[in-house]
Structure 1
Amino acid sequence: MQAKPFLSIEGVDMTFKRGAATTQVLKGIDLTVDKGEYISIIGHSGCGKSTLLNIVAGLTKATTGVVLLEDKVVDQPGPDRGVVFQNHSLLPWLTVYENVALAVDKVFGKAKSAPERREWVMRNLELVHMGHARDKRPSEISGGMKQRVGIARALAMEPKILLLDEPFGALDALTRAHLQDQVMQIQADLGTTVMMITHDVDEAVLLSDRIVMLTNGPSANIGEILAVPLARPRDRIKLATDPIYLKCRQAVLRFLYERNRFVEAA
């Protein structure tokens, strides 16, 4: 008997209504994700990438279709899906430690003792190299550090899948590269299943096992899925001239800029 997929997106359509007007954003999305897999979803602005992620997160209900995580229907938010947005979403009046502890107390308030929860918060802050800033508030740390705290907070819930919505999009190139390397290392260490939204072709190829390419909206669907057969661990410097990396990069660029060229609305 064939094992059931870890994550299954089945026949998902999404239509938004505003007054008498209706817009179909997604049409017929079917996708399965294996446990421990790193999936990137890429496409032009407005094609519904974030909408799809929000459906998997349980933040948005699909018009039709279903999302199953370990064969259980996803119909609301839950700690089994950790979400990191482009905006770090930290509470400004809480310290770095307190922002992560809030999530840990909510999820593990009954399962772990207070000392165990404190140790778990610090373990996850150390995982993203933010233990030294535990007593700082968001206004006292950089954008990249805020994103690291957001990642620590999501991981501290021990989610079955980590959902990243352009988590590095607002960062400078150097900070973005450091965080990408950290996420690669965390995924290698923990075996975390990741689904990431990105606009960045190089980021998608560097991090992913597969890249899911969406067609232009409205009624966007999956136009192509590209396997990225690069061995791990991956070194960004060596990959710059790797023929497999370059071939994958070219395939994504061809899809985005030849087959699905973005057209500005009039």
Structure 2
Amino acid sequence: MSAFLEISRLGIAFNRAAPPVLREVDLKIDKGEYIAVIGHSGCGKSTMLNVVAGLLPATVGGVVLDGAEVREPGPDRAVVFQNHSLLPWLTCYENIRLAVDQVFGRAMSKAERHDWTMKNLERVHMTHARDRRPGEVSGGMKQRIGIGRALAMKPKVLLLDEPFGALDALTRAHLQDEVMQIHAELGTTVMMITHDVDEAVLLSDRIVMLTNGPNATVGEVLTVPLPRPRDRLALATDPRFLEARQAVLSFLHERHKNPALKAA
């Protein structure tokens, strides 16, 4: 049985005279799985996500989603960036409604699109701020709108590029919990780029660890042996959480100590 999302022998080179950013990246992701990708800066994490999003063509290899090759951006892959990327002249409601109109303009009536927009505002707990503009809400609230807009597209895959990286610790924790709840409710397939080891262990089913760039590839893949739903307070002393955290830290530490270390 083929994977829902498959990255096959992916290679990315921006300059023929320089080594490739990524080489021979192979990864299979099941439907509904939550994958975290982690590695040192410059290893090509966001580059890989951009290829899956269709924002960047592969130099060699490619990506197949639900049986179709990824060649360009599409509503079946919604991206949430670290920068919220909202349109500042539109309200929170209008930022989500814009995506709904683009994707479902012909499939839904005007009333249905309004209801679906409100449903996704409610899903990210932002109905109270529907008429505010991005400049009138906090960073965490902006990211909620970005996530709500992505989910409103009903994507097959949700792509998160360090979505909480610019937030304070408390807001980050709240949004992590909300993403866990949304994933449990919808069963959406998620691929997340992160630098945060605890975040990767808390949220994901598997952690994909990339070797150092250039010429980065998959070094190890760790299955996170934690049942869902997950409680961050209970996990703080759970030996399975601590063991998984230590495994990722050890991988990253070895790569930092020896940047030339290749994949096993």
Using the size of structure 1 for normalisation, the TM-score is 0.96
Q: For residue 242 of structure 1, what is the aligned residue in structure 2?
A: 238
Matched, 1:189 2:185: yes
Q: For residue 130 of structure 1, what is the aligned residue in structure 2?
A: 126
Q: For residue 30 of structure 1, what is the aligned residue in structure 2?
A: 26
Q: For residue 147 of structure 1, what is the aligned residue in structure 2?
A: 143
Match of 2:117 among 118, 121, 139: 121
Match of 2:106 among 104, 110, 135: 110
- Pairing 1:1-266 to 2, within 5 Å after superposition: 3-17=1-15, 21-261=17-257
| Distance (Å, rounded) in 1 between the aligned partners of 2:67 and 2:186 | 22
1:215, 1:260 within 8 Å by CA — same for their partners in 2? no
RMSD: 1.0
Deviation at 1:262, TM superposition (A): 7.2
Deviation at 1:260, TM superposition (A): 4.5
Count of equivalent residues = 259
Unaligned runs of 5+ in 1: none
| Distance (Å, rounded) in 2 between the aligned partners of 1:198 and 1:75 | 25
| Distance (Å, rounded) in 2 between the aligned partners of 1:23 and 1:92 | 39
Give the counterpart letter for 1:15 in structure 2: A
Could you say what secondary structure the match of 2:6 adopts?
A: strand
| Distance (Å, rounded) in 1 between the aligned partners of 2:69 and 2:256 | 32
Could you say what secondary structure the match of 2:35 adopts?
A: strand
Deviation at 1:22, TM superposition (A): 2.6
| Distance (Å, rounded) in 1 between the aligned partners of 2:258 and 2:138 | 33
| Distance (Å, rounded) in 1 between the aligned partners of 2:181 and 2:258 | 34
Give the counterpart letter for 1:109 in structure 2: G
Deviation at 1:261, TM superposition (A): 3.5
Using the size of structure 2 for normalisation, the TM-score is 0.97
Sequence identity of aligned pairs in percent?
70
Deviation digits for residues 212-252 of structure 1 (CA, Å, limit 9, x no counterpart): 00000010000000000101000000100000000000000
Could you say what secondary structure the match of 1:24 adopts?
A: coil
Give the counterpart letter for 1:241 in structure 2: T
| Distance (Å, rounded) in 2 between the aligned partners of 1:23 and 1:139 | 41
Deviation digits for residues 28-60 of structure 1 (CA, Å, limit 9, x no counterpart): 000000000000000000000000000000000
Give the counterpart letter for 2:38 in structure 1: I
Q: 1:262 to 1:149 in 2, by over 3 A?
A: farther
| Distance (Å, rounded) in 2 between the aligned partners of 1:255 and 1:136 | 44
Deviation digits for residues 79-111 of structure 1 (CA, Å, limit 9, x no counterpart): 000100000000000000000000000000000
| Distance (Å, rounded) in 1 between the aligned partners of 2:185 and 2:153 | 16
